[in-house]
Amino acid sequence: MIRHPAFTVDPWAVREHSLNLDVLAQTESVFALSNGHIGLRGNLDEGEPYGQPGTYLNSVYELRPLPYAEAGYGYPESGQTVVNVTNGKLIRLLVDDEPFDVRYGTLHEHERVLDLRAGTLTRRAHWSSPTGGEVRVTSTRLVSFTHRAVAAIQYEVEAVGRPRGVVVQSELVANETMEYAGDDPRAAAVLESPLVLEENVSTKDGMAIMIHSTRASHLRVAAAMRHEIDGPEGTRVVTEGFGDVGRVTIATRLKPGQKLRMVKFFSYGWSAKRSRPAMHDQVVAALAAAQLVGWEGLRADQREYLDEFWAGADVEVEGDAEVQQAVRFGLFHVLQSAARLEDRPIPGKGLTGSGYDGHAFWDTEIFVLPVLTYTHPRAAAAALSWRKSILPMAEDRAVQLGLRGAAFPWRTINGEECSGYWPAGTAAFHVNADIADAVTRYVDATEDTRFECEIGLPLLVATARLWCALGHYDADGRYRIDGVTGPDEYSAVADNNVYTNLMAQQNLREAAEAVTRHLDRAEGLEVTLEEAATWRNAATAMFVPYDERLGVHPQSEGFTEHAVWDFAATKPDQYPLMLHFAYFDLYRRQVVKQADLVLAMHLRGDAFTPEQKARDFAYYEALTVRDSSLSACTQAVLAAEVGQLDLAYAYLGEAALIDLDDLEKNTVDGVHMASLAGTWIALVAGFGGMRAGRGQMSFSPRLPSGLTRLAFGMRYHGRLLRVGVTPRAATYRLLEGSPLTLTHYGEEFTIVEKPVTRRIPKASVPTLRIRQPPGREITPRRPNR
Amino acid sequence: MIRHPAFTVDPWAVREHSLNLDVLAQTESVFALSNGHIGLRGNLDEGEPYGQPGTYLNSVYELRPLPYAEAGYGYPESGQTVVNVTNGKLIRLLVDDEPFDVRYGTLHEHERVLDLRAGTLTRRAHWSSPTGGEVRVTSTRLVSFTHRAVAAIQYEVEAVGRPRGVVVQSELVANETMEYAGDDPRAAAVLESPLVLEENVSTKDGMAIMIHSTRASHLRVAAAMRHEIDGPEGTRVVTEGFGDVGRVTIATRLKPGQKLRMVKFFSYGWSAKRSRPAMHDQVVAALAAAQLVGWEGLRADQREYLDEFWAGADVEVEGDAEVQQAVRFGLFHVLQSAARLEDRPIPGKGLTGSGYDGHAFWDTEIFVLPVLTYTHPRAAAAALSWRKSILPMAEDRAVQLGLRGAAFPWRTINGEECSGYWPAGTAAFHVNADIADAVTRYVDATEDTRFECEIGLPLLVATARLWCALGHYDADGRYRIDGVTGPDEYSAVADNNVYTNLMAQQNLREAAEAVTRHLDRAEGLEVTLEEAATWRNAATAMFVPYDERLGVHPQSEGFTEHAVWDFAATKPDQYPLMLHFAYFDLYRRQVVKQADLVLAMHLRGDAFTPEQKARDFAYYEALTVRDSSLSACTQAVLAAEVGQLDLAYAYLGEAALIDLDDLEKNTVDGVHMASLAGTWIALVAGFGGMRAGRGQMSFSPRLPSGLTRLAFGMRYHGRLLRVGVTPRAATYRLLEGSPLTLTHYGEEFTIVEKPVTRRIPKASVPTLRIRQPPGREITPRRPNR
């Protein structure tokens, strides 16, 4: 567990008071810094000990063959794995000839602070070597939001007690030894020495540049570093480079209280096309730009960028300090994953670890982009722009699968499918409707017509065409989508998955409407009004199965006829189930890994009556084991909607603390970006009751008994709103932009300059008893005030 | 194509008049000799050229890791691949220092004859070397039915025209170079050098012995050879052994017309347990026994064994010489695959090639064992005895899968599952009911109580328990079996597959009855009458879905709601579909690879009305593409039953000629044992209308217009019957045993000594129009008289 007596709960920081090597790997993920382009795990400056060394550049991957015991048509032949690129954050230290290594000597103090407003990771260590060499080390690290290619570290050593001989080695190191390997299929495949050296240059004035390319994927990666050094007279600096190492060595002698201070600027670039000289110049230029601004300039820019973000995006939670911290922590990581994407994907773990091989999934569109759309919309646009950039590959894949339109990959880095198990990959076509949903939401929220025409329309058209190829009309004129996999990974390849059908229905409708709005653009995509009419017809006829006997929607057709999983016979250590039971066993029973029908009720709430929502929610609660991190936030939203506020609050906690408390025991591989985003969703869509779409934004806020106040910002139609919720009332405030009409519990009102306060109606008491599967009951949340 | 102008259609032989290297690999399968323990592909004596060298010992396999792009619980970790063991059939020849190689010089004549009554493969070649060295070579090869461990070759060289210097090298060679490799997942994985040398000994008196063991599976394989040589005075013989070669070299000089004659006896043994010295002695002893009998003795025993087999099993077909040949060819290969099994499996290709990695599947029980049960019952017992021997592994597998009873492997050699794709492997649980069906049929046919108690009962009990773990009662009290895969490989993981449910129903019932018959034995298996009652209840409540609207049975629940495959858009070169379309695409549509519901109508005909059979047959005909060799024979049986006699006749041809005409273009990998057995099934169950079970055997014979007479033997309840069918009447004759009551078109009669003749009623004209999928129409059969 990361949450440890040494930690404090701080509203604007994650603070570790002492070093606990047992959770070192997890803290590397939690303390990771990124701007969406560069990602640095929170490894100790001196490199060792480590849980998993990690330096990532978005979309730098290596190819590896995907093996199959029995091959099949259309199986992807190669996989992509995120590469640990050149480590530029390495700063080794020798004190009186003893290497600074926290495993030896005495660590008097050790503190690390991730400052969510400053956008920095600061570390303070007070250490004595085994032979008594005592120093204080302070480092502050940032990955710049404003300079996309740049990271920097301010590093300070102070002699304590007596004069000390101090040597600092600041390095660039490629092909670091990776140790992590496990049987868990979710853990990343480990690649050995993926980088082939092309250039290793060091200059007399203390710059080092290394250029490598990946062995099979042929991507060129350049890294450079330069230092500003402030030490006592006589400080000597040597720069050298050989093999996979570039090194600046700074040797000095410090009197007690005297400091060696250094700023390390390092920059990265990668390209599949640009030449070695071009890449060389690119990283050198990035360094020059960074040095021009200087360390203090980078810090100031960083804070300014974040100030602007928090001004719009901050969520205040009163009554639960842990959740207060967690939602900001989550927003910070979501921002980090996306700030400087520029046509690249947001992986499931961001750039915080190599989990899931660094792949991006549908959770970006369904969990991460809603948050960005309402808080930092240009990042959402950038992520969808990446989808547009891989549209040609998705079209090729559709052809390969005998379909039309686009079949976006289930998991990928470069745009090509690399799922090695088709029932849970290829067949999960809902990813296409999820992309369309994100497009629709973004366009609705931003009214960004240029985006709609250039990015949105092609995506909507291609995905609508896919649904036309996937579905068919039955004898009753119902439009069926057979043999696909919905969000729940404990079912696969079923007919008429309600989530899929409803999301496809929306996709088809929105595509038809977008075509009508932009007929000229649609012509360029060879869409006719006739084709758009076929989409509308399919949407209208879309089959949504319903079990009349039980009065609930089956997750997919026939689902409610299956035997219910034998929860009573399942032992606590048999969760997550997929590690202890065969897919065969899971797929044929009523057991749900993650919100599926419940997610449909969130995203397509219009397709359910309040009574259906209450009954469906109760039914699926009893079947959902939450073996996926993509569940709790959605359960929180629906629990809140059906009036189960304390339950919603418990789920909020589960979503919020997934990484700070390492709830799934795999934070080591990177943080769970969708769950962190889900904290915001649980608060805003759950307790704020926010729903938006088709030009309307509505709220039905209601707090659980644990919370005394909730406030959040929303960007919508160019406005910035701030919504404050107390147990009795909600106040809507317009911070930026012109008057806007909103809805509070179904009643429209318009905010102009003056805040509008509305009472929260008395809650009706839920009548259905809710229970989770035996053995998977959720613990009620006791707020930590 | 193997059928070539050079071939003649011979009722008791397969005769090749000239050598066509294009089909060499296919002829190696067709001309393979086996006794179920040893298998020799029909490779040329001199080893080269070859399509695929092949010498097999039943159940000698090598392990290989099964790779997965994404691993999952319960996936088999290692696969098994049949090993090409020490080649003992190699006899090289030098004529005046030129190697005899049909690719060089002039092949004046070349003939190979597989004699189905003699059980030998004879080859005659008349060849001149490039430098004019002219010889006649004759070899006759057999794998003994009576001496399980022994094969022998009589080899004769005659000088033609002038005196010739002749050197014969008779060898044992291990780790032959294998060349075959392809993308087709059905083709065997090729293993390089799987054998590790343990011993290579040669004696002065011309014996050579080699012992190897397999690298990973640790099986010890011993081979030995000894020769009887009859050459002119001065013939010199040298025996030597080194590396993976044992060699006897015979050098002589022949005058024109003079012959060198040699008999090579070779023997094999393998064991996972026995020591090297023990295996050494075992193969030497086998040679001694063979030499005691001598070549002529082995030939005489071979013929006697086959005479006895044919006396009971022969099928006479008048009006179609090709089918006449094919059914005997098929029976011969079925016998070869099973004659000396002794607790080993019958692989899908027998021991004729490395296709399917040498694995055994459910087709043994459903297609091969019915033929053996009524023609050579002790071989059927031996095959089921193998199933009993692997029961502990099947029980372990059930536990691993969270089930009870036994889960027999989908594909295996050693009894452990090695299917690398669970939807088409593990999930195809019907294999368990298929084994139970074979047990029930064998016990019904033989009244072999000892077998029933020792082999049958444990198998029935374990499989019945599996169905109890797999099924559940729904709210209507129906017993459902969800999420399993039926025989059709173009569907997978569906609910209530009719075939599976009906076969499970029979399995449950028969297990309950067997328990009642053998209560004392059942106690030893910890079966109570209460448990047996739960089986009866499940059987009674078994759910068999029916589509009222269409008036047909869906193959599985919901199947008839799926879109029909777009046959019109499918090009001829896109068959077999699984090589050109994704499983995803196939599974979600109405398209059938092989008889599934139609097979249920054959094996569980009692569960369908005649009208249902007619409608179901017509419905599935239009969907069945016959991309599997396990289809035509069943379609023939049902076509005949519903009165579509000419169609049945066309399917008979497709089943019968699968290997002689290489219809699936993969006879190179071995013959299709189930389809060859299916020839008998199509004739006997199709045109003979034979059905048996529960102590009754009935016939409803009717010939298609192409055939003038059909006659077949049947062993039942210790009797040997012979049934002769002409267009107008059927004659039932008792060849062995006491009087027996049979049924002809529903009317009982008893045959004593005198043959009984019964008229065949006038056929009613079928009313439903039958059509195959567009592009997959079957060509009407034009009999080759």
pLDDT of residue A67: 87
- DSSP notation for A145-158: SSSTTEEEEEEEEE
Q: Is A70 on the interface with B (CB under 8 A)?
A: yes
Q: Does residue A370 have a cis peptide bond before it, meaning omega lies within 30 degrees of 0?
A: no
Number of H helices, E strands in chain A: 19, 33
Partners of B421 on chain A (C-beta within 8 Å) are: 68-70, 72
Structure-token pair, residue B430: 């019907």
Q: Is the pLDDT of residue B551 over 80?
A: yes
For the residues B14-31, what does the mean pLDDT come to?
Answer: 95
Task: Please tell me which residue, B219 or A706, carries the higher pLDDT value.
Answer: B219
B190-216: pLDDT as tens digits: 467 899 999 999 998 889 999 999 999
**In the structure, what pLDDT confidence band is assigned to residue A192 with cuts at 50, 70 and 90?**
confident
Q: Which helix (H) or strand (E) holds A468?
A: helix A457-470
By C-alpha distance, the chain A residue nearest B577 is A73
**In the structure, what pLDDT confidence band is assigned to residue A206 with cuts at 50, 70 and 90?**
confident
Find the angle CA(B533)-CA(B535)-CA(B539) to the nearest 5 degrees: 115
The number of angstroms, rounded, from the C-alpha of B106 to the middle of its chain's C-alpha atoms is 37
The number of angstroms, rounded, from the C-alpha of A763 to the middle of its chain's C-alpha atoms is 34
pLDDT of residue A4: 54
C-alpha–C-alpha distance, residues A315 and A325, integer Å: 10
Partners of A495 on chain B (C-beta within 8 Å) are: 558, 561-562, 588
Residue B15: count other Cβ atoms within 10 Å of its Cβ: 17
Structural domains of chain A, with CATH: 7-309 (2.70.98.40), 314-730 (1.50.10.10)
Amino acid present at B437? D
Range of weakest confidence among A202-206, A337-341, B553-557: A202-206
pLDDT of residue A765: 84
* Cβ within 8 Å, pair A561-B492: no
Q: Is the pLDDT of residue B188 over 50?
A: no
* C-alpha closest to that of B392 among B357, B416, B410, B412: B416
Backbone dihedral region of A98: left (phi > 0), alpha (psi from -120 to 50 degrees) or beta?
A: beta
What 8-state DSSP symbol labels residue A578?
A: G
**Look-up: residue for tokens 């050459």?**
B231
* Cβ within 8 Å, pair B74-A582: yes
C-alpha–C-alpha distance, residues A87 and B54, integer Å: 55
3-class state of residue B779 by DSSP: coil
Structure-token pair, residue B75: 């996936």
For helices A457-470 and A391-400, the axis angle rounded to 10 degrees is: 10
For the residues A446-460, what does the mean pLDDT come to?
Answer: 98
3-class state of residue B618 by DSSP: helix
pLDDT of residue B697: 98
**In the structure, what pLDDT confidence band is assigned to residue B182 with cuts at 50, 70 and 90?**
very low
Q: Which residues pair with A238 in a beta bridge?
A: A249
C-alpha–C-alpha distance, residues A667 and A661, integer Å: 9
C-alpha–C-alpha distance, residues B617 and B595, integer Å: 10
Structure-token pair, residue B360: 């055994």
Q: Is the pLDDT of residue A262 over 50?
A: yes
Q: Is the pLDDT of residue B180 over 60?
A: no
Q: Is the pLDDT of residue A354 over 50?
A: yes
Q: Is A71 on the interface with B (CB under 8 A)?
A: yes
3-class state of residue A773 by DSSP: coil
**In the structure, what pLDDT confidence band is assigned to residue A65 with cuts at 50, 70 and 90?**
confident
Structure-token pair, residue B356: 């399917």
B236-251: pLDDT as tens digits: 999 999 999 999 999 9
**Look-up: residue for tokens 């490199």?**
A47
3-class state of residue B210 by DSSP: strand
pLDDT of residue A189: 46
Nearest to A421 among B70, B425, B472 (CB): B70
pLDDT of residue B745: 98
Rg (CA), chain A: 27
Exposed / middle / buried, residue A708 (Cβ in 10 Å: 0-12, 13-18, 19+): middle
C-alpha–C-alpha distance, residues A76 and B319, integer Å: 52
A521-539: pLDDT as tens digits: 999 999 999 999 999 999 9
pLDDT of residue A768: 87
Q: Is the pLDDT of residue A183 over 70?
A: no
How confident is the prediction for chain B on average, in pLDDT?
95
What residues of chain A, 471 to 500, have a C-beta less than 8 Å from chain B? Answer: 472, 474-475, 480, 482-484, 492-493, 495
Q: Is the pLDDT of residue A772 over 70?
A: yes
For the residues B694-705, what does the mean pLDDT come to?
Answer: 97
* C-alpha closest to that of A490 among A571, A442, A556, A397: A556
B82-129: pLDDT as tens digits: 999 999 999 999 999 999 999 999 999 999 999 999 999 999 999 999
Rg (CA), chain B: 27
pLDDT of residue A193: 86
- DSSP notation for B217-244: T--EEEEEEEEEEE--TT-EEEEEEETT
Q: Is the pLDDT of residue A102 over 50?
A: yes
A582-591: pLDDT as tens digits: 999 999 999 9
What 8-state DSSP symbol labels residue A367?
A: I
Nearest to B70 among A420, A549, A584 (CB): A420
By C-alpha distance, the chain A residue nearest B418 is A69
Exposed / middle / buried, residue A132 (Cβ in 10 Å: 0-12, 13-18, 19+): middle
3-class state of residue A261 by DSSP: strand
C-alpha–C-alpha distance, residues A37 and A31, integer Å: 17
Q: Is the pLDDT of residue A24 over 90?
A: yes
C-alpha–C-alpha distance, residues B292 and B264, integer Å: 13
Q: Exactly one of A134, A489, A531, A641 is catalytic; which is it?
A: A489
pLDDT of residue A187: 38
Structure-token pair, residue A45: 């400056």
Q: Which residues pair with B33 in a beta bridge?
A: B40
pLDDT of residue B785: 57
Is B489 an annotated catalytic residue? yes
Looking only at Cα atoms, what is the longest distance across chain B? Answer: 90
Nearest to B588 among A483, A557, A561 (CB): A483
By C-alpha distance, the chain A residue nearest B423 is A584
By C-alpha distance, the chain B residue nearest A357 is B70
* Start-to-end C-alpha separation, chain A: 20
Query: CA of B616: how far to CAs of B613, B620, B691, in Å?
Result: 5, 6, 19
pLDDT of residue B496: 98
C-alpha–C-alpha distance, residues B543 and B481, integer Å: 8
**In the structure, what pLDDT confidence band is assigned to residue B659 with cuts at 50, 70 and 90?**
very high
Q: What is the ipTM of this complex?
A: 0.92
**Look-up: residue for tokens 């649609």?**
A522
For the residues A250-256, what does the mean pLDDT come to?
Answer: 97
The full length of chain B comes to 785
B309-325: pLDDT as tens digits: 999 999 999 999 999 99
**How far A2 CA lies from chain B's nearest CA (Å)?**
29
Contact B197, B212 (CB under 8 A): yes
**In the structure, what pLDDT confidence band is assigned to residue B782 with cuts at 50, 70 and 90?**
confident
Q: Is the pLDDT of residue A632 over 80?
A: yes
Contact A754, A553 (CB under 8 A): no
Structure-token pair, residue B137: 């070579």
Q: Exactly one of B416, B489, B510, B641 is catalytic; which is it?
A: B489
For the residues A267-284, what does the mean pLDDT come to?
Answer: 97
C-alpha–C-alpha distance, residues A355 and B104, integer Å: 61
pTM for the complete prediction?
0.94
Q: Which helix (H) or strand (E) holds A749?
A: strand A747-751
Nearest to A73 among B426, B578, B588 (CB): B578
C-alpha–C-alpha distance, residues A304 and A137, integer Å: 27
C-alpha–C-alpha distance, residues B295 and B291, integer Å: 7
Q: b/e map of B525-535 (b: 16 or more CB within 10 Å)?
A: eebeeebbeeb
